[in-house]
Amino acid sequence: MRFDPHARVQRQDESMPRSPAIAALEARLASGSGGADAVGAFLDANAFPLAEPPLYTFVYRGHADAVRLRHWVHGLQTSSPFRRLDGTDLWCYTLELPDESRVEYKIEVVARGRAEWIEDPLNPQRARDPFGANSVVQARGYEIPDWAREGEEVRRGQMDELAVESETFGSARHVTVYRPAEFRANRRYPLLIVHDGGDYVEYAGLRQVLDQLIDRFEIPRMIVALLHPGDRMSEYAADPAHARFVAEELLPRLEREYPLLPDPGSRGLMGASLGAVASFHAALEYPGRFGRMLLQSGSFLFTDIGANESGPVFDRIVDMMNAYRAAPTAIAEKAFVSVGVYEPLVSENRALIPVLRRGGADVRFVESRDGHNWENWRDRLREGLSWLFPGPLWMVYE
């Protein structure tokens, strides 16, 4: 299967690109020159997925009726059948990936009438998310950013736990607040409010990223409020109650508790997927309150004609986006938007950019060869945060 960003139909098995290493193995197997366990020797000698850029071959060994690659790359079929090498229990599937791609996947093994999705036993690379973990293939040129790792000598921020009383929700909401290293009560700091903050910390390494970027002077020391949603699918889907909580209850509480800079340019909202929608909606409902927005892979669904067919959960979002597209306003001075080209929301995010600009925002838009996942969102944080909140790097020469 050759990569084609415009393809919507997977080509059939016969068009699968041939891995030279697999072809050589098949030749050895056919000639009997590979020894008693040619397959075992092959597995021992290579790392998997087998990288022969731009080809990447996924391999599974075991008795099965069928094996499939399961991934979430928009434009490709999400289920791609492996081919079993004649006379062996070795299954393989070769995919062409552009450089710098990063793809999360599982292997589906069908045996005795039962299908099971498993992490790739031959690949140690994993990405975790709220649903568990996926295996990861990293194409040539992709590297986990060094600023996303724990740095031994990097000064670490602290986490405070806050119970924010909410009349809107009728109960206290739990918010975690990141305070930067060397926090001083007599200084004033920018504020970033992060939707799904717990997941950003757990799956996108947000604490390490903040520590690193602050330590490198790429962003200023800042206060970061990490939200933990209640009923996420409702609250984050353009719910006026959530926007009210953020702007009228959480923000004043944070202003009382922490020394914050007062100008909108020092206040930001951030989120991914529905969290991006919640950020956008809060800024839209409270213009002039938040001057910075970091929106990742937002579910910015809209209809140019006809009704929303994505399900009732998205009705409010579609209504909001249709109204905004008809009459865009300046909801923030600066907005950073990112999306993976392998995710289904790429078109909606691309469509948002000219509308935001028409509304008067200074917009930076970044696409990556990745999907709708936390590590994609992590990898864009440096560029997004440092653009929205430039640190003193420009001024620091140690």
Residues making contact with another protein (CB under 8 A):
182, 184, 186, 218, 382-383, 386-387, 390, 392-398
Minimum CB distance to another protein, residue 63 (Å): 50
- C-alpha span between 73 and 371 (Å, rounded): 7
- C-alpha span between 108 and 60 (Å, rounded): 10
Minimum CB distance to another protein, residue 364 (Å): 8
Mention every residue, 6+ apart, whose C-beta is less than 8 A from residue 328. 355, 356, 358, 359, 360
Element (H, E) at 206: helix 206-215
Minimum CB distance to another protein, residue 186 (Å): 7
Write out the two tokens for 265.
Answer: 């340019």
Which is nearer to another protein, 260 or 345 (by Cβ)?
A: 260
Minimum CB distance to another protein, residue 334 (Å): 11
Which is nearer to another protein, 55 or 209 (by Cβ)?
A: 209
Minimum CB distance to another protein, residue 288 (Å): 19
* SS3 state of residue 17: coil
Which is nearer to another protein, 164 or 219 (by Cβ)?
A: 219
Minimum CB distance to another protein, residue 208 (Å): 16
Which is nearer to another protein, 49 or 190 (by Cβ)?
A: 190
Angle subtended by helix axes 315-326 and 346-358, to nearest 10 = 40
Q: How far is CA 294 from the centre of its chain?
A: 13
Q: Quick check: 321 and 301 in contact, CB under 8 A?
A: yes
- Number of residues that make up the chain: 398
Which is nearer to another protein, 24 or 396 (by Cβ)?
A: 396
Which is nearer to another protein, 27 or 396 (by Cβ)?
A: 396
Which is nearer to another protein, 180 or 229 (by Cβ)?
A: 180
* SS3 state of residue 260: strand
Minimum CB distance to another protein, residue 397 (Å): 4
